[in-house]
Structure 1
Amino acid sequence: MPPLLLALDAPLATEPSLTGGKGATLARLRQRGFPVPDGAVVTTELFDRVTDDPAIERLRDRLERADEDDTPARRAIAADLRRAIRDRSVPADLRDALTATLPDGPYAVRSSGTSEDSPDASFAGQYETTLGVAGGDLAGAILACLASLFSDRAVAYRARNDLATAALSMAVVVQRVVDADVSGICFSADPLTGTRSVSVIDAGRGLGEAQVSGTATADTLRVDRTDGSVLAYHVGADRTDPVLTDRDATALVRIAARIEDTLGRPQDVEWAIADGEIAVLQARPITALYPVPEREPPGGDVRVYYSFGHRQGMPEAMPPLVLDIWETEVEFVREHFGLAERFGATAGGRLYIDLTAYLTSPWVRDRLVRNLDIVDRPAANALRTLSEDHPEAIASPAGPGSGGLGPLRTLRSTWPLLRAMVGSIPGSMLDSTPAATLDGIRRQYTDAGDAAIERIDAAEAPAERFTTAGRELESAIDWLLDPFYGPLLSAMLAGAALRRLVPEEADSVDALALGIEGDVVYRMTRQLGELADVARESPAVATALTDGDTPSRADLAALDGSEAFLDAFDGFLSTYGFRAIGEIDVSRPRYREDPTPLLTVVASTLETRAGTTQNDIDVALRARAGAAETRLIRAAPAPVAPLVRRLIRTHRGYLGIRELPKFALARLLAELREAALAAGDELTGRGALPDAGDVWLLTVAEVTQGLSDPRTLSGIDIAGRRREFERDRRLTPPRIITSTGYVPPQRDSEPAADRRLHGTGAAPGVVEGTATVVTDPRTQRVGRGDVLVAAYTDPGWTPLFVNAAVVTEVGGRLTHGSLVAREYGIPAVVAVDGATEALAEGSRVRVDGTNGVVEILE
């Protein structure tokens, strides 16, 4: 039977399952020589004994099954649990052990939950702590700590962090109270900015109850971790003299840094000073900090990183195999264009791009920020903040070996890229039949993709197929990008020229993008609309799709008269089944594996387009584009009217190329997914993995080695990687972060009023509607008059656009969602930070896609 009481010096005391997170950490620190006061831990064995009661077990079960949204019911059950636990008694053998182990004197009695102070959640302030407890009162204080596992705030905190209650337990730390002259908290890293090179200290007189209760203001210090110097000292509002000396501050920071090194991550350290001696009262991880990107080879200078996921419109975490694939791919792209310095780095399950070399020159930095203003304005604002507040982060000594890129070095280092981008522009601009040329480029993409897939299919063994798919993805850069730049840049230049030549009709240029036949995404969305038209011809199918939850294909197949719809649906899947929601994450199922998102869109279309066919919409879009063309030509001065006609033809003829590379790439990603799943099946069959889906938790090298010799995977902690990935998924990734962990705040040039949110106007027009916050486009529907609000969108979301205005937290004028919104004439505002939180579900909003403003009406 496990012991009921363990001294902090006992070897078993470092085991969290016995002593909880707080107790195990204190024991570990004390045993490593840190100044942790004397004490002991009442182990989780007591909690197990106390809660081994049918009435308590029934209450725990009721709490576990209670509706998450029924707060009053959950609180009532939690209150009953607390009363039931406090009414229990402490065993006599524990009372005897406490008396024998702990001498007379006041004690601090602190809860220590088994999930507390973990990498997932700190539970700071959620459980019970009682100070100054005399020996005779210890039993009551201990039971109160056990009961606090079910405090209202702890129950709510677990619900927010998706932590199950059933598996949790509680220990209790009993420590001698330190008669502190000064006490407080030392953060080993800045908890607000994330900077790892700066520590922050809060300090107050005595034990700090006044600071905790809010009746007094603590002194706040910022200290440089490298040399211990105090960077800033703000004395609390109720005092004039500082409570902490610079020497004490330096000592505290050094102890906190050692604790961080011991525990492996930045820490929030509670401390006290009595008679000049420092005591460590507890330490917990600073869970809000985003991990610092890891770069190979590591550099000694401060580096500045930009989120690849935000640039791609998909900022969610990716599992290790997918992350490894993309890290390799971006380096292959870098090498393809002759860029010298490696720039990939990973953090929190995301890929980051090292921008440092492109920021040290003001000339280059200015142009980079201008580009980001178009594609990701919050990132541009963050870079401006970085250069204003921390110029040292982008400073670089002059000279050829500095790593910075001035105008000439930039031109020389990026010449292959520039040549590829601009070399074919003159020919494209002079092309008299851009639409026909685009048809040829589309066939070129199709033929190259077919050939790549044939080579992958020719590989029979899982190892060969996986390697071939990866190789084809890398070599695809040669045929994906080269035909792309000239036509796309020509379309963009033509559009910019039209805005300059006919400024009074600048808004009409966006309308030229409506209903472009050559755009593969438009074709895909149009065919989805046609599917809805077919479904409407079968009352049974239409009813099944719109009545309740979205049915499966099998459900529809059981209906009379569903044959025509299923034939059309299968035809759609044969053409577009390789696409997916969040498709750059290869671990996510493609439409041909799970067509539910498509059926959901068809259902939504049936509900919102009563009496309107897809052909009606196509005709209307082409009419709007034609009217825009007429307005531009009529408004143009007579001498430039012929040029305006040619520019319109170039702009509309080539704009359809924008999605061709991504469309072709998606085909290869689907093949790579199948190859990875086949590798997972093979590794599972050979006993190297517990489940085929665990292949996503490996790296490319591990998959390859495992297929050659499954024994190479025997030492890998798959369960640990799964937990880490789940933690990464819950993190909020910054757009810009430095190698010191600093996350620049995004100061917008147009700060939002209480009811106005500012972003980037991505598609013109003004619409009022009801906000629908979409987190899962596979199952959620967007109704007529709704405004789609999402953290991001990618090609998999496109079908939802036909029914709504769009507001996203990520994106710019040239990202996928913006282009599609303009093509459909739907107002869109992107790069609206915090939109999914600020725009409550069901609120009435006005979306101004022309000026980039979202106004909350009610």
Structure 2
Amino acid sequence: MTTAREPLALPFTEINAGMLAEVGGKAANLGELTTAGLPVPPGCCLTTEAYHRVAEGTALKDVIAELATTEAADTATLAELAGRARALLLEAPVPDEVGEAVDEAYARLGDRVPVAVRSSATAEDLPYASFAGQQDTYLNIVGPEAVREAVRRCWASLWTDRAVAYRASNGIDHAAVRLAVVLQRMVDAEVAGVMFTANPVTGRRHEAVIDAAPGLGEAVVSGAVNPDRFVVDMASGRITERRIGDKRVSIRSLPGGGTERADLDGTQEACLTDRQVRELSELGRKVEDHYGAPQDTEWAIDAAGGLWLTQARPITTLYPLPETTRDGLRVYFSVNVAQGVMRPFTPMGLAGFKVISGGAATMAGHPPADPQDGAAIATAGGQRMFLDITAAVRSRAGRAILPRALAFGEARAGVVFRQVAEDPRLSVTTTSVRPLIRTAMRIAGRVGAPKRVALALARPQAALDYTRRLGETLEARLRIAPDATAEQRLDHAERCLRGTFPMIFSIMPVVLVGYAGFGLAGRLSGAKGDQLQAVLRSLPHNPTTEMDIELWRLATDIGADPEAAEPFRTQPVGELAVRYNGGELKAQRAIERFLARYGHRGVAEIDLGMPRWSDEPAHILGVLANYLRLDGDDVAPDAMFARGAQEAELAVRQIVSMAAAKGRWRGRLAAFGLRRTRLFGGLRELPKYYMVEVLAAVRRSMRVVGEELVAKGVLDTADDVYFLDFREVRAALGGGHLGELVAGRRASYEQEVRRRHVPRMLLSDGTEPEALAVREAAEDGALTGTPASAGTVTGPARVVLDPVGAHLEPGEILVAPSTDPGWTPLFLTAGGLVMEMGGSMSHGAVVAREYGIPAVVGVADATHQIVTGQTITVDGSAGVISIAD
């Protein structure tokens, strides 16, 4: 069975978690569980070497080369190439030594014993991608010939359409993937199913969620049955939720091999006793303790009552818990979600944000012991920033103020906060308002709030002049000598990040005067809703609006010159960027002037590790090209701004008249307040604008340091510096090589970039409060089911009964009776998922969570009640589907 090269087969007892390359993810886990003494059915693994010896005699390399140049979105070409790869493996001759290894591995398990033949890929059951169901499994296979045929089909299943599409969407190199095959003695299950050792919908850790149904577990995994569902507190063994499914389908083994699907009458009796549920939960706890992380397991109970573990893999969809050293249940608020930046921060971006938070904490009278550690409440999770707001949640004053403040910037966050406050574990422990008042007074004093407020009330133009001079002072502070050493640049960067926050924050008292005037006018006049909101249209002194209008004027100037406009009208953005970088555009100097003023901005600009427009101008060039395609002056930004300003002035006059009708002084006060609103309201964008200038300046300076580290051989490229923090950069100046560290961080960062769901709030036990929303009575016409993947989406429905030949436009919501791995390519463009069958751990639910699309499963008669083309809203947290009229 072995050669001088590598073994062709290994028993589970000789396999461990470090053998991913030899045996694939599934076998590595089964071997690890076996050696840990857990109840795993005996088995062997045909190694990846066996697959390699079959594949090396084919033209598979040519197919892989074509796949490498095919875009993930080109599903038609991916499917065609996958079909070619399968055909090659199905027709390839099997070397004698490989065939003998298959026969000997099977014989080890007994004489014609029924086995499960299961694929085990090297890119499978990974911490960041489960690959659930992407390769094939064959159940109840009996006899050497049948086993050989099943093994061959498993090898070919590495190239199913769904597996190829999954790898492409996850950025996994096809050439680097191999397949092993598990032969495992079948459990003739009376009851089987899946168990997660953390709630995959709410995220709560140490809460086992069990789906169970009669017969083999395939019925549960594939979503063919509505299973019984149990939720168990793993610490106490208490069953906290019990939901009985109809269980109308069972998959069972046939005596001579193979399986059959039987339709059942359905029963309202649970298929597991409470004792069995607790035994499963205890088994799940042991598995989780062994791996040190939550696990997605499959299990079976035989006719004698024996409990078997048939698979375990990491739960890849749980959001990583923020780092903390604090005891007790903590509440975290996402800075990324609040800022609309769903992508992760670079390591230097995280480090920069922590230093900034330290400056803010110092201003509030709570300086960190080390400025680089940042404020005590600032932490990271999933390479994104979170703030620990537990103290506010457990404070009477915090509960009164914070939800209103959150709702102002992001309405849903305020709702979620109120829900968190209802958790009995987070009861109020601070009733006095004095700590808050002291902190507020300290901050007000340090930013000169009384003086700024008085200036804004009495001398508004002087207040505006102050904000302008502040920008000039800031620019002076950000300058650094071109010949500054790397150490000097690091010192300067930390000073800028730590010290400029209080200065920038001093604008806020002026802004608050504007919004106080807004609130005062509303009270004096009684105006509400749209009429009051109209006052805030087209506010002057907003740097973002000014930038947009400046960009439009640039486009207008380019459009007035046919020669300058020609490339923008005829060439793709990539070519425009090449010509701009080569200094070849006729509009070159005008664009350079714009970028000299606004080039510090960019996508995800609060991360100093992200490129700015001046670094990568393609985005701005694309915007200019789009502006030149606009038809009609009425859609021009400056025209829209002017119309908005006129509507705002009309609203001001109406509101003042409403207030004056209640009293002359009311009218005068309302007019005074709204004048301040119009003057100062637009300044709300200015603090962030200035802060982005700081981040851009630090970014430029750190790139110079990166170039020095490249010259020293420490880094491979200057941009690698953004994948270090400030301490690491300082240490790197002494020499060494950090290429491997940076490569690992880049890979981890790219994995996080693909994460599509980031929680607004998160508890330290993993719970996402938004996913715990209590389902209220559904509106007329709404459908209900089991929450499967959190989030809400509205879009056109696409009812699909068979995935073969089906097509989903991007954003369409897939409505299906159930799904198995063959449906996976449709998930690439689906905006959401509705299934008639299945539980929260069925295949469709697992993949929906991995792709970050909202999903509701177990929705009775969904494919008949929903019609293709209807607009529906899927609330994957509440389990509700609303159908538009």
Q: Per the shorter chain, which TM-score range?
A: 0.7 to 0.9
- In 2, Cα distance between the equivalents of 1:620 and 1:203? 61
Distance 1:436 1:606, change over 3 A: farther
The answer to whether structure 1 residue 380 and structure 2 residue 404 are counterparts is no
Could you say which residue in structure 2 is the equivalent of 1:720?
744
- Pick from 478, 483, 505 the counterpart of residue 481 of structure 1: 505
Q: Deviations over 1:316-336 (max 9, x none)?
A: 211222112212322331232
Paired AA for residue 625 in structure 2: A
- In 1, Cα distance between the equivalents of 2:228 and 2:495? 58
Could you say which residue in structure 2 is the equivalent of 1:391?
424
- In 1, Cα distance between the equivalents of 2:331 and 2:532? 36
The answer to whether structure 1 residue 491 and structure 2 residue 521 are counterparts is no
Distance 1:263 1:682, change over 3 A: farther
Could you say which residue in structure 2 is the equivalent of 1:281?
310
5 Å-filtered alignment, 1:418-497, equals 423-424=449-450, 427-428=453-454, 431-447=457-473, 449-454=474-479, 456-457=480-481, 460-482=484-506, 484-497=507-520
Could you say which residue in structure 1 is the equivalent of 2:549?
526
Query: Does the 8 Å CA contact 2:321/2:764 hold for their aligned counterparts?
Result: yes
Query: Does the 8 Å CA contact 1:425/1:486 hold for their aligned counterparts?
Result: no
Q: Deviations over 1:751-810 (max 9, x none)?
A: 99999xxxxxxxxxxxxxx99xxxxxxxxxxxxxxxx99xxxxxxxxxxxxxxxxxxxxx
- In 1, Cα distance between the equivalents of 2:594 and 2:406? 36
Could you say which residue in structure 2 is the equivalent of 1:117?
125
Deviation at 1:39, TM superposition (A): 1.7
Paired AA for residue 208 in structure 1: G
Deviation at 1:592, TM superposition (A): 1.8
Deviation at 1:627, TM superposition (A): 3.6
Could you say which residue in structure 1 is the equivalent of 2:830?
none
Query: Does the 8 Å CA contact 1:429/1:490 hold for their aligned counterparts?
Result: no
The answer to whether structure 1 residue 583 and structure 2 residue 605 are counterparts is yes
- In 1, Cα distance between the equivalents of 2:624 and 2:235? 59
The answer to whether structure 1 residue 338 and structure 2 residue 365 are counterparts is yes
- In 1, Cα distance between the equivalents of 2:20 and 2:656? 75
Query: Does the 8 Å CA contact 2:333/2:761 hold for their aligned counterparts?
Result: yes
- In 1, Cα distance between the equivalents of 2:703 and 2:96? 57
Q: Deviations over 1:612-651 (max 9, x none)?
A: 7877666555544444444344444134333233223222
Query: Does the 8 Å CA contact 2:206/2:235 hold for their aligned counterparts?
Result: yes
Paired AA for residue 596 in structure 1: A
Let me know the Cα RMSD of the aligned residues. 3.7
Deviation at 1:250, TM superposition (A): 3.4
Paired AA for residue 570 in structure 2: D
SS state at 1:198 partner: strand
- Pick from 41, 48, 56 the counterpart of residue 45 of structure 2: 41
The answer to whether structure 1 residue 540 and structure 2 residue 549 are counterparts is no
5 Å-filtered alignment, 1:118-517, equals 118-136=126-144, 137-212=146-221, 216-237=225-246, 238-274=266-302, 275-295=304-324, 298-339=325-366, 342-388=376-422, 390-392=423-425, 394-395=426-427, 398=429, 404=430, 406-417=432-443, 423-424=449-450, 427-428=453-454, 431-447=457-473, 449-454=474-479, 456-457=480-481, 460-482=484-506, 484-504=507-527, 507=530, 509-517=532-540
Deviation at 1:249, TM superposition (A): 3.3
- Pick from 92, 95, 104 the counterpart of residue 99 of structure 2: 95
Mean alpha-carbon deviation: is it higher for 656-665 or for 19-28? 656-665
> With structure 2 as the length reference, what TM-score do the two structures score?
0.78
- Pick from 701, 705, 719 the counterpart of residue 675 of structure 1: 701
Could you say which residue in structure 2 is the equivalent of 1:17?
21
Query: Does the 8 Å CA contact 2:333/2:389 hold for their aligned counterparts?
Result: yes
- In 2, Cα distance between the equivalents of 1:556 and 1:216? 59
Distance 1:502 1:647, change over 3 A: same
Mean alpha-carbon deviation: is it higher for 486-495 or for 697-706? 697-706
Q: Deviations over 1:69-127 (max 9, x none)?
A: 55455434433432332233433223333444413212111000110101221111221
- In 2, Cα distance between the equivalents of 1:554 and 1:164? 29
SS state at 1:369 partner: helix
Q: Deviations over 1:368-409 (max 9, x none)?
A: 222222211222222233344x332x125x4xxxxx464344
Distance 1:650 1:220, change over 3 A: same
Distance 1:252 1:391, change over 3 A: same
SS state at 1:29 partner: helix
Deviation at 1:587, TM superposition (A): 1.5
- In 2, Cα distance between the equivalents of 1:729 and 1:465? 29
> With structure 1 as the length reference, what TM-score do the two structures score?
0.80
Query: Does the 8 Å CA contact 1:445/1:479 hold for their aligned counterparts?
Result: no
- In 1, Cα distance between the equivalents of 2:230 and 2:101? 42
Could you say which residue in structure 1 is the equivalent of 2:787?
none
Query: Does the 8 Å CA contact 1:41/1:174 hold for their aligned counterparts?
Result: yes
Distance 1:246 1:671, change over 3 A: same
Deviation at 1:180, TM superposition (A): 3.6
- In 1, Cα distance between the equivalents of 2:683 and 2:438? 28
SS state at 2:770 partner: coil
Deviation at 1:214, TM superposition (A): 5.2
Distance 1:194 1:609, change over 3 A: same
Q: Deviations over 1:6-38 (max 9, x none)?
A: 222225784111111111122222223333232
Query: Does the 8 Å CA contact 1:532/1:605 hold for their aligned counterparts?
Result: yes
Query: Does the 8 Å CA contact 2:359/2:502 hold for their aligned counterparts?
Result: no
Mean alpha-carbon deviation: is it higher for 370-379 or for 739-748? 739-748
- Pick from 82, 87, 91 the counterpart of residue 83 of structure 1: 87
Could you say which residue in structure 1 is the equivalent of 2:249?
none
The answer to whether structure 1 residue 730 and structure 2 residue 754 are counterparts is yes
Deviation at 1:443, TM superposition (A): 0.9
Could you say which residue in structure 2 is the equivalent of 1:28?
32
Structure 1 gap ranges (5+): 399-403, 756-769, 772-787, 790-832, 846-854
Q: Count how many residue pairs are aligned between Structure 1 and Structure 2.
A: 757
SS state at 2:13 partner: coil
5 Å-filtered alignment, 1:646-665, equals 646-665=672-691
> Kindly, what percent of the aligned residue pairs are identical?
30
Distance 1:625 1:230, change over 3 A: closer
Deviation at 1:493, TM superposition (A): 0.6
Distance 1:247 1:697, change over 3 A: farther
Q: Deviations over 1:719-757 (max 9, x none)?
A: 3222221121122210011000001226599999999xx
- In 2, Cα distance between the equivalents of 1:242 and 1:615? 66
- In 2, Cα distance between the equivalents of 1:616 and 1:79? 55
- In 2, Cα distance between the equivalents of 1:753 and 1:316? 37
Distance 1:556 1:277, change over 3 A: closer
Deviation at 1:251, TM superposition (A): 3.6
Deviation at 1:356, TM superposition (A): 0.8
Distance 1:538 1:580, change over 3 A: same
SS state at 2:420 partner: helix
Deviation at 1:146, TM superposition (A): 0.7
Structure 2 gap ranges (5+): 247-265, 368-374, 783-794, 797-810, 813-851, 857-868, 873-881
- In 2, Cα distance between the equivalents of 1:751 and 1:744? 20
SS state at 2:187 partner: coil
- In 1, Cα distance between the equivalents of 2:352 and 2:581? 38
